[in-house]
Amino acid sequence: MKKTLWRPVAVLNHNHPVAHPLPHAAYQQRVAEIRESIGVSRNDPRPAIPAEILFAELDALIDEVEAERNRR
């Protein structure tokens, strides 16, 4: 098997980035940061946003970005 690259690369689909694989150490660091953020958010006394609302807003933003890309 070939030696793996030492630096991150982007996976392209029709010349658009669709994934950014990370070195294992960087991935593990990011996972630790995400887990810490989740722990902090669970202890946040502010009102929670229902998942349905959050994901609906995220979907709308993604659709907006895709529409902008298609206009180019």
Contacts of 17 (CB under 8 A, 6+ apart): 10, 11
Q: Tell me the pTM.
A: 0.38
At residue 60, the pLDDT reads 94
> How many Å apart are CA 9 and CA 24, to the nearest integer?
13
pLDDT digits (tens, 9 = 90+) for 12-60: 777 776 776 777 788 788 888 888 988 888 888 877 788 899 899 999 9
What pLDDT band is residue 10 in, cutting at 50, 70 and 90?
low
